[in-house]
Structure 1
Amino acid sequence: MGKVPVFSSLSGQNLASVAALIRRREYPKGEILFAEGDRLDDLVIVNAGSVKAYTIAPDGREQILYVFSEGDFFGERNLFDGRTAPYTLQALEEVKTCAFSREDFRALIADHPDIALAVMEALQTRIARMENALRSIGVRSVDARVSALMLEFAEKYGKPVPEGVLIRLPLSREGMANYLGIARETVSRKLGQLEAEGVIRSISGKSLLILDREALRQSAGVLS
Protein backbone atom coordinates (compact mmCIF):
# COMPACT_ATOMS: atom_id res chain seq x y z
CA MET A 1 0.00 0.00 0.00
CA GLY A 2 2.95 2.32 0.59
CA LYS A 3 3.51 2.46 -3.19
CA VAL A 4 0.04 3.95 -3.73
CA PRO A 5 0.49 7.74 -4.03
CA VAL A 6 -2.51 8.64 -1.86
CA PHE A 7 -1.01 6.67 1.04
CA SER A 8 2.61 7.76 0.62
CA SER A 9 2.49 9.98 3.73
CA LEU A 10 1.51 7.15 6.10
CA SER A 11 3.88 5.38 8.48
CA GLY A 12 4.25 1.61 8.61
CA GLN A 13 1.86 1.23 11.53
CA ASN A 14 -0.77 3.39 9.86
CA LEU A 15 -0.35 1.49 6.60
CA ALA A 16 -1.06 -1.75 8.45
CA SER A 17 -4.28 -0.22 9.79
CA VAL A 18 -5.26 0.85 6.28
CA ALA A 19 -4.50 -2.59 4.86
CA ALA A 20 -6.89 -4.14 7.38
CA LEU A 21 -9.77 -2.16 5.84
CA ILE A 22 -9.36 -3.15 2.21
CA ARG A 23 -11.16 -5.79 0.18
CA ARG A 24 -9.08 -7.32 -2.61
CA ARG A 25 -10.45 -8.40 -5.97
CA GLU A 26 -9.01 -9.83 -9.17
CA TYR A 27 -10.51 -9.48 -12.65
CA PRO A 28 -9.51 -11.26 -15.87
CA LYS A 29 -8.93 -9.31 -19.07
CA GLY A 30 -12.18 -8.07 -20.55
CA GLU A 31 -14.28 -8.35 -17.39
CA ILE A 32 -16.57 -5.47 -16.48
CA LEU A 33 -15.78 -4.16 -13.00
CA PHE A 34 -18.78 -1.84 -12.93
CA ALA A 35 -21.27 -0.81 -15.59
CA GLU A 36 -22.45 2.74 -16.12
CA GLY A 37 -25.43 3.30 -13.84
CA ASP A 38 -24.41 0.65 -11.29
CA ARG A 39 -24.40 1.69 -7.67
CA LEU A 40 -20.79 2.22 -6.61
CA ASP A 41 -20.27 2.70 -2.88
CA ASP A 42 -16.52 2.03 -2.78
CA LEU A 43 -13.33 3.86 -3.52
CA VAL A 44 -11.30 1.43 -5.63
CA ILE A 45 -7.53 1.53 -6.16
CA VAL A 46 -5.80 -0.34 -8.98
CA ASN A 47 -3.02 -2.50 -7.55
CA ALA A 48 -1.92 -4.08 -10.82
CA GLY A 49 -2.99 -3.97 -14.45
CA SER A 50 -5.06 -1.29 -16.17
CA VAL A 51 -8.73 -0.43 -16.56
CA LYS A 52 -10.53 1.68 -19.15
CA ALA A 53 -13.44 3.92 -18.23
CA TYR A 54 -15.84 4.53 -21.11
CA THR A 55 -19.33 5.53 -22.15
CA ILE A 56 -21.28 4.68 -25.28
CA ALA A 57 -22.01 7.64 -27.54
CA PRO A 58 -25.46 8.08 -29.15
CA ASP A 59 -24.06 6.71 -32.42
CA GLY A 60 -22.98 3.51 -30.63
CA ARG A 61 -19.28 4.39 -30.60
CA GLU A 62 -17.24 3.68 -27.50
CA GLN A 63 -15.74 6.84 -25.98
CA ILE A 64 -12.86 6.17 -23.60
CA LEU A 65 -12.63 8.83 -20.89
CA TYR A 66 -9.81 7.53 -18.69
CA VAL A 67 -7.29 4.75 -18.41
CA PHE A 68 -6.60 3.82 -14.79
CA SER A 69 -3.38 1.95 -14.00
CA GLU A 70 -1.36 0.95 -10.93
CA GLY A 71 -1.84 3.47 -8.14
CA ASP A 72 -4.85 5.18 -9.74
CA PHE A 73 -8.26 5.20 -8.09
CA PHE A 74 -11.91 5.61 -9.05
CA GLY A 75 -15.21 5.87 -7.23
CA GLU A 76 -14.31 9.13 -5.49
CA ARG A 77 -17.41 10.87 -6.86
CA ASN A 78 -19.58 8.51 -4.87
CA LEU A 79 -17.91 8.96 -1.48
CA PHE A 80 -20.32 11.62 -0.26
CA ASP A 81 -23.56 11.32 -2.20
CA GLY A 82 -23.86 7.68 -3.28
CA ARG A 83 -24.15 8.42 -6.99
CA THR A 84 -24.18 5.64 -9.54
CA ALA A 85 -21.13 4.89 -11.68
CA PRO A 86 -20.79 7.61 -14.37
CA TYR A 87 -19.03 5.26 -16.79
CA THR A 88 -18.34 1.58 -17.43
CA LEU A 89 -15.04 0.17 -16.17
CA GLN A 90 -13.47 -2.77 -18.01
CA ALA A 91 -10.19 -4.62 -17.39
CA LEU A 92 -7.69 -4.12 -20.24
CA GLU A 93 -5.59 -6.97 -18.83
CA GLU A 94 -5.58 -9.02 -15.65
CA VAL A 95 -6.35 -6.52 -12.91
CA LYS A 96 -5.97 -6.54 -9.13
CA THR A 97 -7.77 -3.96 -7.02
CA CYS A 98 -8.27 -3.03 -3.40
CA ALA A 99 -11.47 -1.32 -2.32
CA PHE A 100 -12.56 0.72 0.67
CA SER A 101 -16.17 1.14 1.67
CA ARG A 102 -17.48 4.69 1.60
CA GLU A 103 -17.76 4.72 5.41
CA ASP A 104 -14.23 3.39 5.97
CA PHE A 105 -12.61 5.82 3.54
CA ARG A 106 -14.45 8.82 4.94
CA ALA A 107 -13.26 7.86 8.43
CA LEU A 108 -9.75 7.36 7.06
CA ILE A 109 -9.48 10.85 5.58
CA ALA A 110 -10.91 12.33 8.77
CA ASP A 111 -8.08 10.71 10.74
CA HIS A 112 -5.41 11.39 8.10
CA PRO A 113 -6.01 14.73 6.29
CA ASP A 114 -2.88 14.15 4.18
CA ILE A 115 -4.78 11.41 2.35
CA ALA A 116 -7.52 13.89 1.43
CA LEU A 117 -4.89 16.30 0.11
CA ALA A 118 -3.29 13.52 -1.95
CA VAL A 119 -6.68 12.62 -3.42
CA MET A 120 -7.28 16.28 -4.31
CA GLU A 121 -3.87 16.51 -6.00
CA ALA A 122 -4.55 13.36 -8.03
CA LEU A 123 -7.95 14.68 -9.09
CA GLN A 124 -6.43 18.02 -10.06
CA THR A 125 -4.01 16.20 -12.37
CA ARG A 126 -6.86 14.16 -13.84
CA ILE A 127 -8.97 17.27 -14.46
CA ALA A 128 -6.02 19.08 -16.05
CA ARG A 129 -5.51 16.20 -18.48
CA MET A 130 -9.19 16.14 -19.34
CA GLU A 131 -9.23 19.91 -19.92
CA ASN A 132 -6.16 19.61 -22.12
CA ALA A 133 -7.85 16.86 -24.13
CA LEU A 134 -10.97 18.99 -24.59
CA ARG A 135 -8.91 21.97 -25.73
CA SER A 136 -7.08 19.73 -28.18
CA ILE A 137 -10.32 18.85 -29.94
CA GLY A 138 -10.83 22.48 -30.91
CA VAL A 139 -7.30 23.69 -31.60
CA ARG A 140 -5.18 20.67 -32.57
CA SER A 141 -5.29 18.65 -35.76
CA VAL A 142 -6.04 14.95 -35.37
CA ASP A 143 -2.38 14.19 -36.17
CA ALA A 144 -1.24 16.53 -33.38
CA ARG A 145 -3.65 14.86 -30.96
CA VAL A 146 -2.08 11.46 -31.65
CA SER A 147 1.37 12.90 -30.92
CA ALA A 148 0.06 14.57 -27.76
CA LEU A 149 -1.35 11.23 -26.60
CA MET A 150 2.07 9.62 -27.02
CA LEU A 151 3.55 12.36 -24.84
CA GLU A 152 0.86 11.74 -22.21
CA PHE A 153 1.62 8.02 -22.25
CA ALA A 154 5.35 8.75 -22.00
CA GLU A 155 4.75 10.86 -18.91
CA LYS A 156 2.59 8.26 -17.18
CA TYR A 157 3.93 4.93 -18.45
CA GLY A 158 7.35 5.76 -19.91
CA LYS A 159 10.58 4.14 -18.75
CA PRO A 160 13.89 5.85 -19.62
CA VAL A 161 16.23 3.61 -21.63
CA PRO A 162 19.52 4.44 -23.40
CA GLU A 163 17.79 5.09 -26.75
CA GLY A 164 14.92 7.17 -25.41
CA VAL A 165 11.68 6.42 -23.57
CA LEU A 166 10.08 2.98 -23.68
CA ILE A 167 6.30 2.90 -23.34
CA ARG A 168 4.15 -0.12 -22.66
CA LEU A 169 0.98 1.09 -24.33
CA PRO A 170 -2.16 0.75 -22.19
CA LEU A 171 -4.45 0.86 -25.23
CA SER A 172 -4.62 -0.83 -28.62
CA ARG A 173 -4.74 1.27 -31.80
CA GLU A 174 -8.53 1.01 -31.68
CA GLY A 175 -8.52 1.98 -28.01
CA MET A 176 -6.40 5.06 -28.76
CA ALA A 177 -8.85 6.03 -31.49
CA ASN A 178 -11.77 5.67 -29.07
CA TYR A 179 -9.90 7.74 -26.49
CA LEU A 180 -9.25 10.54 -29.00
CA GLY A 181 -12.58 10.28 -30.80
CA ILE A 182 -10.99 9.70 -34.21
CA ALA A 183 -10.71 6.87 -36.73
CA ARG A 184 -8.42 3.91 -36.03
CA GLU A 185 -6.85 4.39 -39.46
CA THR A 186 -5.80 7.91 -38.46
CA VAL A 187 -3.97 6.59 -35.41
CA SER A 188 -2.20 3.89 -37.43
CA ARG A 189 -1.25 6.33 -40.21
CA LYS A 190 0.17 8.91 -37.81
CA LEU A 191 2.16 6.34 -35.83
CA GLY A 192 3.51 4.97 -39.11
CA GLN A 193 4.50 8.48 -40.18
CA LEU A 194 6.28 9.14 -36.87
CA GLU A 195 8.14 5.86 -37.22
CA ALA A 196 9.18 6.65 -40.80
CA GLU A 197 10.52 10.00 -39.59
CA GLY A 198 12.58 8.30 -36.88
CA VAL A 199 10.61 9.86 -34.03
CA ILE A 200 9.34 6.57 -32.61
CA ARG A 201 9.98 2.87 -33.13
CA SER A 202 7.39 0.14 -32.67
CA ILE A 203 8.72 -2.66 -30.48
CA SER A 204 5.59 -4.78 -30.56
CA GLY A 205 1.85 -4.29 -30.71
CA LYS A 206 1.93 -3.24 -27.05
CA SER A 207 5.16 -1.22 -26.82
CA LEU A 208 6.96 1.57 -28.61
CA LEU A 209 10.14 3.56 -28.14
CA ILE A 210 10.22 7.34 -28.33
CA LEU A 211 13.52 8.18 -30.01
CA ASP A 212 13.11 11.95 -30.43
CA ARG A 213 10.92 13.48 -27.74
CA GLU A 214 11.49 17.04 -28.95
CA ALA A 215 10.30 16.16 -32.45
CA LEU A 216 7.24 14.52 -30.90
CA ARG A 217 6.55 17.69 -28.91
CA GLN A 218 6.75 19.74 -32.10
CA SER A 219 4.40 17.32 -33.85
CA ALA A 220 1.95 17.72 -30.96
CA GLY A 221 2.19 21.51 -31.12
CA VAL A 222 3.69 21.73 -27.63
CA LEU A 223 5.91 24.74 -27.02
CA SER A 224 9.34 24.00 -25.55
Structure 2
Amino acid sequence: MNSLCHYCQHNLCIHRVPIFSALNQEALLSIVPLIQRHRYSKGELILCEGDAVDSLMIINHGSVKAYRITPDGREQILYVFSEGDFFGEANLFGQQKANYSVEALEEVFTCSLTKEKFEILIREYTEIALRIIEELGRRISVMETSLQSMGVRSINARIAALLLEYQDKFSVVTPEGTELHLPLSREGMANSLGIARETLSRKLGQLETKRIIRTLNNKTMLVLQPESLQKLAGYSE
Protein backbone atom coordinates (compact mmCIF):
# COMPACT_ATOMS: atom_id res chain seq x y z
CA MET A 1 0.00 0.00 0.00
CA ASN A 2 1.34 3.43 -0.90
CA SER A 3 1.96 5.51 2.22
CA LEU A 4 1.44 8.73 0.28
CA CYS A 5 -1.56 10.13 -1.57
CA HIS A 6 -2.43 13.14 -3.69
CA TYR A 7 -3.95 15.15 -0.85
CA CYS A 8 -1.03 14.54 1.48
CA GLN A 9 1.19 16.60 -0.86
CA HIS A 10 4.00 14.10 -0.25
CA ASN A 11 3.64 14.28 3.51
CA LEU A 12 1.98 11.80 5.82
CA CYS A 13 -1.72 12.60 5.98
CA ILE A 14 -1.77 11.67 9.65
CA HIS A 15 0.29 14.80 10.37
CA ARG A 16 -2.94 16.80 10.02
CA VAL A 17 -5.04 14.55 12.26
CA PRO A 18 -5.44 16.05 15.76
CA ILE A 19 -5.61 12.67 17.51
CA PHE A 20 -2.10 11.88 16.21
CA SER A 21 -0.63 15.35 16.72
CA ALA A 22 1.20 14.49 19.94
CA LEU A 23 3.21 11.70 18.29
CA ASN A 24 6.75 12.12 16.99
CA GLN A 25 7.87 11.39 13.43
CA GLU A 26 9.01 7.86 14.24
CA ALA A 27 5.64 7.00 15.78
CA LEU A 28 3.77 8.51 12.84
CA LEU A 29 5.81 6.45 10.38
CA SER A 30 4.93 3.29 12.30
CA ILE A 31 1.22 4.03 11.86
CA VAL A 32 1.31 4.41 8.07
CA PRO A 33 1.32 0.67 7.20
CA LEU A 34 -1.78 0.17 9.37
CA ILE A 35 -3.91 2.67 7.44
CA GLN A 36 -6.32 1.87 4.60
CA ARG A 37 -7.41 4.64 2.25
CA HIS A 38 -10.79 5.09 0.56
CA ARG A 39 -12.37 7.56 -1.83
CA TYR A 40 -16.08 8.48 -1.86
CA SER A 41 -18.06 10.53 -4.37
CA LYS A 42 -20.41 13.37 -3.44
CA GLY A 43 -23.69 11.92 -2.15
CA GLU A 44 -22.21 8.48 -1.48
CA LEU A 45 -23.25 6.81 1.77
CA ILE A 46 -20.14 5.98 3.80
CA LEU A 47 -21.88 4.59 6.86
CA CYS A 48 -25.49 3.62 7.48
CA GLU A 49 -27.22 3.89 10.86
CA GLY A 50 -27.44 0.43 12.42
CA ASP A 51 -24.45 -0.97 10.52
CA ALA A 52 -21.80 -2.93 12.35
CA VAL A 53 -18.65 -0.79 12.43
CA ASP A 54 -15.16 -2.22 12.74
CA SER A 55 -13.01 0.78 11.78
CA LEU A 56 -12.16 4.28 12.88
CA MET A 57 -12.60 6.56 9.84
CA ILE A 58 -10.50 9.73 9.62
CA ILE A 59 -11.28 12.39 7.01
CA ASN A 60 -8.19 13.32 5.02
CA HIS A 61 -9.95 15.52 2.45
CA GLY A 62 -13.50 16.82 2.05
CA SER A 63 -16.49 16.94 4.38
CA VAL A 64 -19.38 14.68 5.38
CA LYS A 65 -22.65 14.99 7.25
CA ALA A 66 -23.67 12.67 10.07
CA TYR A 67 -27.43 12.33 10.46
CA ARG A 68 -30.36 10.28 11.69
CA ILE A 69 -33.80 9.81 10.21
CA THR A 70 -36.53 10.84 12.65
CA PRO A 71 -39.70 8.74 13.17
CA ASP A 72 -41.61 11.12 10.90
CA GLY A 73 -39.06 10.65 8.10
CA ARG A 74 -37.10 13.90 8.46
CA GLU A 75 -33.34 14.06 8.25
CA GLN A 76 -31.79 15.30 11.50
CA ILE A 77 -28.21 16.46 10.95
CA LEU A 78 -26.03 15.89 14.00
CA TYR A 79 -22.56 16.86 12.81
CA VAL A 80 -20.63 18.09 9.81
CA PHE A 81 -17.17 16.50 9.85
CA SER A 82 -14.24 17.86 7.84
CA GLU A 83 -10.50 17.28 7.43
CA GLY A 84 -8.93 15.84 10.58
CA ASP A 85 -12.26 14.76 12.11
CA PHE A 86 -13.08 11.10 12.76
CA PHE A 87 -16.16 8.91 13.08
CA GLY A 88 -16.99 5.24 13.61
CA GLU A 89 -15.44 5.31 17.06
CA ALA A 90 -18.45 3.85 18.93
CA ASN A 91 -17.70 0.22 18.13
CA LEU A 92 -14.01 0.60 18.95
CA PHE A 93 -14.84 0.81 22.66
CA GLY A 94 -17.60 -1.80 22.67
CA GLN A 95 -19.93 -3.71 20.37
CA GLN A 96 -22.26 -0.87 19.43
CA LYS A 97 -23.67 -0.41 15.97
CA ALA A 98 -23.47 2.89 14.12
CA ASN A 99 -25.84 5.38 15.74
CA TYR A 100 -25.95 7.67 12.71
CA SER A 101 -25.47 7.61 8.95
CA VAL A 102 -22.62 9.42 7.21
CA GLU A 103 -22.84 10.84 3.68
CA ALA A 104 -20.16 12.56 1.59
CA LEU A 105 -20.95 16.23 0.93
CA GLU A 106 -18.25 16.37 -1.76
CA GLU A 107 -15.43 14.14 -2.95
CA VAL A 108 -14.02 12.63 0.24
CA PHE A 109 -10.83 10.74 1.02
CA THR A 110 -10.58 8.84 4.28
CA CYS A 111 -7.95 6.92 6.18
CA SER A 112 -9.25 4.04 8.26
CA LEU A 113 -7.94 1.87 11.06
CA THR A 114 -9.60 -1.44 11.90
CA LYS A 115 -10.57 -2.11 15.51
CA GLU A 116 -7.77 -4.65 15.84
CA LYS A 117 -5.13 -2.22 14.56
CA PHE A 118 -6.56 0.62 16.61
CA GLU A 119 -6.26 -1.46 19.80
CA ILE A 120 -2.60 -2.14 18.97
CA LEU A 121 -2.00 1.58 18.57
CA ILE A 122 -3.61 2.75 21.81
CA ARG A 123 -1.75 0.11 23.80
CA GLU A 124 1.52 1.55 22.51
CA TYR A 125 0.52 5.22 22.28
CA THR A 126 -1.88 6.13 25.07
CA GLU A 127 -1.87 9.75 23.84
CA ILE A 128 -4.14 8.69 20.97
CA ALA A 129 -6.82 7.36 23.32
CA LEU A 130 -6.62 10.53 25.41
CA ARG A 131 -7.07 12.74 22.33
CA ILE A 132 -10.09 10.70 21.22
CA ILE A 133 -11.65 10.94 24.68
CA GLU A 134 -11.07 14.71 24.64
CA GLU A 135 -12.75 15.05 21.24
CA LEU A 136 -15.71 12.87 22.23
CA GLY A 137 -16.12 14.96 25.37
CA ARG A 138 -16.12 18.10 23.24
CA ARG A 139 -18.80 16.63 20.95
CA ILE A 140 -21.01 15.75 23.91
CA SER A 141 -20.65 19.29 25.21
CA VAL A 142 -21.51 20.78 21.81
CA MET A 143 -24.51 18.46 21.44
CA GLU A 144 -25.80 19.31 24.93
CA THR A 145 -25.44 23.02 24.20
CA SER A 146 -27.23 22.57 20.88
CA LEU A 147 -30.13 20.68 22.44
CA GLN A 148 -30.43 23.23 25.23
CA SER A 149 -30.30 26.14 22.78
CA MET A 150 -33.27 24.79 20.83
CA GLY A 151 -35.39 25.42 23.89
CA VAL A 152 -33.95 28.64 25.27
CA ARG A 153 -31.99 30.45 22.54
CA SER A 154 -33.67 32.51 19.87
CA ILE A 155 -33.63 31.39 16.25
CA ASN A 156 -31.38 34.35 15.41
CA ALA A 157 -28.87 33.23 18.05
CA ARG A 158 -28.86 29.65 16.76
CA ILE A 159 -28.32 30.77 13.17
CA ALA A 160 -25.50 33.10 14.20
CA ALA A 161 -23.84 30.30 16.20
CA LEU A 162 -24.05 27.95 13.20
CA LEU A 163 -22.47 30.53 10.88
CA LEU A 164 -19.67 31.08 13.40
CA GLU A 165 -19.10 27.33 13.57
CA TYR A 166 -18.79 27.25 9.78
CA GLN A 167 -16.48 30.26 9.93
CA ASP A 168 -14.10 28.25 12.10
CA LYS A 169 -14.01 25.26 9.76
CA PHE A 170 -15.03 26.27 6.25
CA SER A 171 -13.80 29.80 5.55
CA VAL A 172 -11.07 31.87 3.96
CA VAL A 173 -10.27 35.51 4.67
CA THR A 174 -10.62 37.85 1.68
CA PRO A 175 -10.26 41.64 1.33
CA GLU A 176 -14.07 41.90 1.34
CA GLY A 177 -14.66 39.79 4.42
CA THR A 178 -14.59 36.19 5.63
CA GLU A 179 -15.83 33.93 2.84
CA LEU A 180 -17.82 30.94 4.10
CA HIS A 181 -18.04 27.83 1.95
CA LEU A 182 -21.25 26.36 3.33
CA PRO A 183 -21.01 22.57 3.69
CA LEU A 184 -24.79 22.13 3.73
CA SER A 185 -27.67 23.30 1.58
CA ARG A 186 -30.22 25.69 3.08
CA GLU A 187 -32.43 22.65 3.72
CA GLY A 188 -29.58 20.92 5.52
CA MET A 189 -28.78 23.99 7.60
CA ALA A 190 -32.45 24.33 8.57
CA ASN A 191 -32.60 20.65 9.54
CA SER A 192 -29.52 20.97 11.74
CA LEU A 193 -31.13 23.94 13.49
CA GLY A 194 -34.54 22.31 13.86
CA ILE A 195 -36.35 25.06 11.93
CA ALA A 196 -38.18 25.35 8.61
CA ARG A 197 -36.19 26.22 5.51
CA GLU A 198 -38.44 29.23 4.90
CA THR A 199 -37.63 30.54 8.38
CA LEU A 200 -33.91 30.18 7.77
CA SER A 201 -34.13 31.97 4.42
CA ARG A 202 -36.07 34.83 5.98
CA LYS A 203 -33.63 35.21 8.87
CA LEU A 204 -30.60 35.12 6.55
CA GLY A 205 -32.30 37.79 4.46
CA GLN A 206 -32.60 39.97 7.55
CA LEU A 207 -28.89 39.52 8.31
CA GLU A 208 -28.13 40.50 4.73
CA THR A 209 -30.31 43.62 4.97
CA LYS A 210 -28.31 44.63 8.06
CA ARG A 211 -25.08 44.03 6.08
CA ILE A 212 -23.90 41.44 8.56
CA ILE A 213 -23.56 38.89 5.76
CA ARG A 214 -23.74 38.92 1.99
CA THR A 215 -24.84 35.90 -0.06
CA LEU A 216 -22.64 35.22 -3.08
CA ASN A 217 -24.36 32.03 -4.24
CA ASN A 218 -26.14 29.00 -2.76
CA LYS A 219 -22.92 27.64 -1.27
CA THR A 220 -20.94 30.78 -0.47
CA MET A 221 -21.49 33.88 1.64
CA LEU A 222 -19.38 36.69 3.06
CA VAL A 223 -19.36 37.52 6.76
CA LEU A 224 -19.03 41.30 6.81
CA GLN A 225 -19.54 41.85 10.54
CA PRO A 226 -18.28 38.84 12.54
CA GLU A 227 -18.58 40.82 15.76
CA SER A 228 -22.32 41.23 15.10
CA LEU A 229 -22.66 37.46 14.69
CA GLN A 230 -20.77 36.99 17.96
CA LYS A 231 -23.20 39.32 19.70
CA LEU A 232 -26.27 37.66 18.16
CA ALA A 233 -25.01 34.24 19.22
CA GLY A 234 -24.55 35.48 22.77
CA TYR A 235 -20.78 35.01 22.73
CA SER A 236 -20.02 38.64 23.56
CA GLU A 237 -21.62 41.52 25.39
Shared fold (TM-score greater than 0.5)?
A: yes
Moved more, 189-198 or 200-209: 200-209
> Does 2:165 correspond to 1:156?
no
Q: 1:71 aligns with which of 84, 90, 98?
A: 84
Supply the AA of the counterpart residue of 2:223: I
- Provide the C-alpha distance between the structure 1 equivalents of 2:192 and 2:169, rounded to a whole number of angstroms: 16
Q: 2:189 aligns with which of 150, 169, 176?
A: 176
Q: What is the identity percentage for the equivalent residue pairs of Structure 1 and Structure 2?
A: 54
TM-score by length of 2: 0.90
- Counterpart secondary structure, 1:2: helix
Q: Unpaired runs of 5+ in structure 2?
A: 1-13
Alpha-carbon displacement from aligned partner over 1:116-170 (angstroms, at most 9, x marks no partner): 1211222222222112111111111222211111111112323333443222111
- Provide the C-alpha distance between the structure 1 equivalents of 2:72 and 2:60, rounded to a whole number of angstroms: 34
Q: Unpaired runs of 5+ in structure 1?
A: none
- Counterpart secondary structure, 2:180: strand
Corresponding residue for 1:198? 211
Pairwise CA distance, 1:13 = 2.1
- Provide the C-alpha distance between the structure 2 equivalents of 1:91 and 1:128, rounded to a whole number of angstroms: 25
- Provide the C-alpha distance between the structure 2 equivalents of 1:7 and 1:214, rounded to a whole number of angstroms: 33
Q: 1:107 aligns with which of 110, 113, 120?
A: 120
> Does 2:231 correspond to 1:218?
yes
- Provide the C-alpha distance between the structure 1 equivalents of 2:131 and 2:176, rounded to a whole number of angstroms: 34
How large is the RMSD of aligned CA atoms in angstroms? 1.4
Q: Would you say how many aligned residue pairs link Structure 1 and Structure 2?
A: 224
Listed as ranges, the matches of 1:14-33 within 5 Å are 14-33=27-46
- Provide the C-alpha distance between the structure 1 equivalents of 2:19 and 2:65, rounded to a whole number of angstroms: 20
- Counterpart secondary structure, 2:150: helix
> Does 2:154 correspond to 1:141?
yes
> Does 2:134 correspond to 1:121?
yes
- Provide the C-alpha distance between the structure 1 equivalents of 2:124 and 2:215, rounded to a whole number of angstroms: 47
Supply the AA of the counterpart residue of 2:164: L
Corresponding residue for 2:93? 80
> Does 2:103 correspond to 1:90?
yes
Moved more, 144-153 or 33-42: 144-153
Could you tell me whether the CA contact under 8 Å between 1:55 and 1:62 is conserved in 2? yes
- Provide the C-alpha distance between the structure 2 equivalents of 1:73 and 1:59, rounded to a whole number of angstroms: 29
- Provide the C-alpha distance between the structure 2 equivalents of 1:83 and 1:174, rounded to a whole number of angstroms: 30
Could you tell me whether the CA contact under 8 Å between 1:41 and 1:82 is conserved in 2? no
Pairwise CA distance, 1:223 = 3.0
